[in-house]
Structure 1
Amino acid sequence: MDVLELARTQFAVTGSLHFLFVVLTLGLAPIVALMHTRHVISGSALHGGMTRFWGQVYVINYALGIVTGLVMEFQFGLSWSGLSDYAGDVFGAPLAMETLVAFFLESTFLGLWIFGWGRLPKWLHLACIWLVTLTAYASAFFIMVANSFLQNPAGSVVRNGRLELVDFGALLTNKTLVFSFPHVIGAGLLTGGLVLAGASAYRLRRRTQDTLFFGKSLRTGVGVAALGAFLAMGFGYAQFGGIQEGKFDGGGGGAVPLGLMIEIGQLLAFVLLFLILPIIYWLPRWRWTHPVLMIMTPLPFVLAILGWMAREIGRQPWMVWHKLTVADALTPGLTSGMVTASLIGFATVLGLLAVVDYVLIARVIRRGPYGLDLGASPAGAEPAPALSH
């Protein structure tokens, strides 16, 4: 491959692996916040245990996802300085907002929530996890603002050979953003919900003693996943009205992942909404459904990558639609050896982080809601109470 193809491959690999962490974060954050809310309102030990258990899964994924985001930032400066030179005044503004929100506000509130168990007033502690959720979604919003600008450079004009921002409101109301952001929210809820459902089905199939704990978690996961599937499908189809002419024609290859995404997504949504959701009450006891839910668990991750690929590949050969080509956005002077070395390095780091994320989360799920570190008393971790009938 030439330098341009290597750089595109590098971005595809790092972007796909990073998005795996992001989509799970967006799904788990509101679920944990809702569990914590029920715990604070009712005082239920069961919901307290669910908050701590699934919160620990969330914290693991968030911590490792932050590192993958840093790799994404490195690659922009390394391979795509032409984009910064031409459109940095516009493209950089939402990315800067995302950095402020994600690396400062979101991390601060998450730290307060992690270390605030038993130290902060319960309502203030609850507010922290809701602020984590809101800032996570704000972070995703600004990322989608930046990406939507690449799809449709609204609110900008060309001056002195560079794009300049003239209407910030147009940037925030970009026609490619209005439906794509809710679509991402739906994808996140679908992913988080099915992770809950699949992991709970795994625990229930092992006939563990915590049947009430994972029975409620399974129902919660299926309900959230069904909502996510509905949102993702609805706003996904709504985006077709704003697709630029020719985006999925020609040799870009964007139509291939878009066909696959639609077909898998339709099948998954049909199974969730019309086969699984109507029997949600009996799911914890009907063991034949548990392998089905476990098999469905990885599908939202596959859909997320296919959707991202369709959105990015369909824009080729443009980095900024009809303004800047991908070739012109490439950093001058790059050699195949340089990009190959960085590709191997980035892919290795992100791949290891993905494996570590899976191993750590799987270890927590196999161990169950016992000996949790999150919310443990100073004397040591204790099991979550009220786990079984």
Structure 2
Amino acid sequence: MDVLDLARTQFAVTGGLHFLFVVLTLGMAPLVALMHTRWAMTGRPLHEAMTRFWGQIYVVNYALGIVTGLVMEFQFGLAWSGLSHYAGDVFGAPLAMETLLAFFLESTFLGLWIFGWGRLPRWLHLACIWLVTLTAYASAFFIMLANSFLQNPAGTVARDGRLELVDFGALVANKALVFSFPHVVAAGLFTGGMVLVGASAYMLRRRTEQAEFFTRSMRLGVVTAAIGITFTMGFGYAQFAGVQDGKWDNIGAALGLALMMEVGQLLGLVVLLVMLPLIRFLPRWRWAHPLLVAMTPLPFVLSIAGWVAREVGRQPWMIWGKLTVADAMTPGLTAGMVTASLTGFAGVLGLLAVVDYVLIARIVRRGPREPDLGAGVPRETRTPALSF
């Protein structure tokens, strides 16, 4: 491959691996917040156990995902300085906002939630996880705002060889954003729901002693997956109404789109017409549990296929109709330089992905007995009987 293809491959690998963490974060955050809300309102030990167990999985995925985001920043600065020079005044603003939200606000609130067990008043502790969720979704909004600008540079004009923002409202109301952002959010919910279903099916297959715990978790996962896949398909189809401007002519984009649509439709039928109507029986049907476990990776595959379709469909443009990918690349890069960075970045991100899923699998196999989250805090100080 020449240096341009290597640079594109580097971005695809780093972006794809990073998004595996992101989509699970977007799906798990509201589920953990909902579990914590039920615990705060009822005080039931079961809801506390669900909050701590699934919250621990969320924390592991978030912590490792942050590191993959840092790698993304490095590869951006290394390979795509032409983009920064031409459109940095526009493209850099939403990325800066995402950094403030993800690396400062979201991490701060998550830290307060992690270390606030038994120390913060119950409603303040609950507010922390909801603020984590809101900042996570705000972070995703700004990332999609930046990406949608690349797809359709609305609200900008070219002056003296650079793009300038002249209408912020047009940037926010970008036709490439209004359906793609809720599409990504819904895909996250679908992914989070299917992780609950798959992990619960695995534990119920083993005839675990915590049958009620994983029965409730599976049912919550099925409902969440049903909501997620419904809106994912709805907002996905809505994007075809004049939004893409013929971008599916690219064969790579067409293949990614075909995979996403065909497998997504099949999964949608299974979730909505089989799993949801049989939600009361699935936890008891041990013969179905291996099938549910096998379905768990599919939302991640679909998410990557969706990104391939969206990004490859823009080729050969980095900014549609304004800046080509070749012009966006850093001058002076050699194939050897990009190969070395690609190997290093892919190795680091690949290792982080493996570590993430190994840790999550260990947490699931260990079960909800005394998870590390909130450990060491006496039960009487953990219960939501506390008040301001």
TM-score, scaled to structure 2: 0.97
For 2:27, the aligned partner's letter is G
- Residue type matched to 1:187 in 2? A
Deviation at 1:253, TM superposition (A): 2.0
1:332 paired residue number? 331
Match of 1:92 in 2: 92
Q: Structure 1: where are the runs of 5+ without partners? A: 385-389
Amino acid at match of 2:201: A
What amino acid does structure 1 have at the position aligned with 2:291? Answer: V
User: Counterparts of 1:242 and 1:125 in 2: how far apart (Å)?
Assistant: 45
Note the 1:197-276 alignment, pairs <5 A: 197-250=197-250, 253-276=252-275
Q: Report how far residue 243 of structure 1 moved.
A: 2.9
1:282 match:
281
> In the alignment, residue 31 of structure 2 is paired with which amino acid?
I
What do the CA deviations read for 1:42-75 (whole angstroms, capped 9, x no partner)?
1111000000000000000000000000000011
SS in 2 for 1:281: coil
- The C-alpha deviation readout for 1:203-236, integer Å capped at 9, x for no partner, is 0000010000000000001110110000100000
C-alpha offsets along residues 155-199 of structure 1, whole Å, 9 cap, x if unaligned?
110011100011111111111100000000110000000000000
**Aligned pair 1:30/2:24, yes or no?**
no
Partner of 1:387: none
Shift of 1:26: 0.2
Deviations 1:95-114 (A, max 9, x none): 00000000000000000000
1:376 corresponding residue in structure 2: 375
Q: Does 1:148 align with 2:148?
A: yes
What residue number does 1:315 align with?
A: 314
Unaligned runs of 5+ in 2: 384-388
My pick for the range that moved more, 287-296 or 131-140, is: 287-296
CA distance in 1, matches of 2:11, 2:243: 23
Match of 1:77 in 2: 77
CA contact (8 A) 2:6 2:335 kept: yes
Structure 2 letter corresponding to 1:358: Y
Q: Which residue of 2 aligns with 1:115?
A: 115
Alpha-carbon deviation of 1:244?
3.3
Cα distance between partner residues in 2 of 1:55 and 1:242: 40
Q: Distance in 2 between matches of 1:179 and 1:379?
A: 46
Q: Work out the CA distance in 1 between the residues paired with 2:297 and 2:264.
A: 12
Q: Secondary structure at the match of 1:163?
A: strand
Deviation at 1:379, TM superposition (A): 7.3
Q: CA deviation at 1:289?
A: 2.0
Relative to the length of structure 1, the TM-score reads 0.96
Aligned position for 1:341? 340
Instruction: Give the structure 2 partner of residue 39 of structure 1.
Output: 39
Q: Is the 8 A contact 2:252 2:308 kept in 1?
A: no
Percent identical: 76
Q: Output aligned runs, 1:58-77, within 5 Å.
A: 58-77=58-77
2: CA distance between counterparts of 1:172 and 1:110?
Answer: 28
Between the aligned partners of 1:74 and 1:336, the Cα distance in structure 2 is 18
User: 2:134 maps to which residue?
Assistant: 134
- The code of the aligned residue for 2:154 comes to A
The letter of the residue matching 2:161 is G
Contact map agreement 2:24 2:188 (CA 8 A) in 1: yes
Select between 368-377 and 209-218 the one with higher mean Cα deviation. 368-377
Looking at structure 2, the residues matched to 283 and 58 of structure 1 have their Cα atoms a distance apart, in angstroms, of 24
**Structure 2 residue identity aligned to 1:60:** V
Q: Which residue of 1 aligns with 2:357?
A: 358
CA contact (8 A) 1:52 1:375 kept: yes
Q: Structure 1 residue 378: deviation in Å?
A: 4.4
Please tell me whether the aligned partners of residues 176 and 242 of structure 1 are also in contact (alpha carbons under 8 angstroms): no
SS of structure 2 residue aligned to 1:240: coil
Q: Where in structure 2 are the equivalents of 1:2-17 lying within 5 Å?
A: 2-17=2-17
Paired with 2:78 and 2:245, the residues of 1 have a C-alpha distance of 32
Using the alignment, how far apart are the partners of 2:355 and 2:159 within structure 1?
47
Matched residue type, 1:129: I
In 2, distance between residues paired with 1:65 and 1:255? 29
Superposition map of 1:99-110 within 5 A: 99-110=99-110
Q: CA RMSD in A?
A: 1.2
The alpha-carbon deviation at position 344 of structure 1 amounts to: 0.1
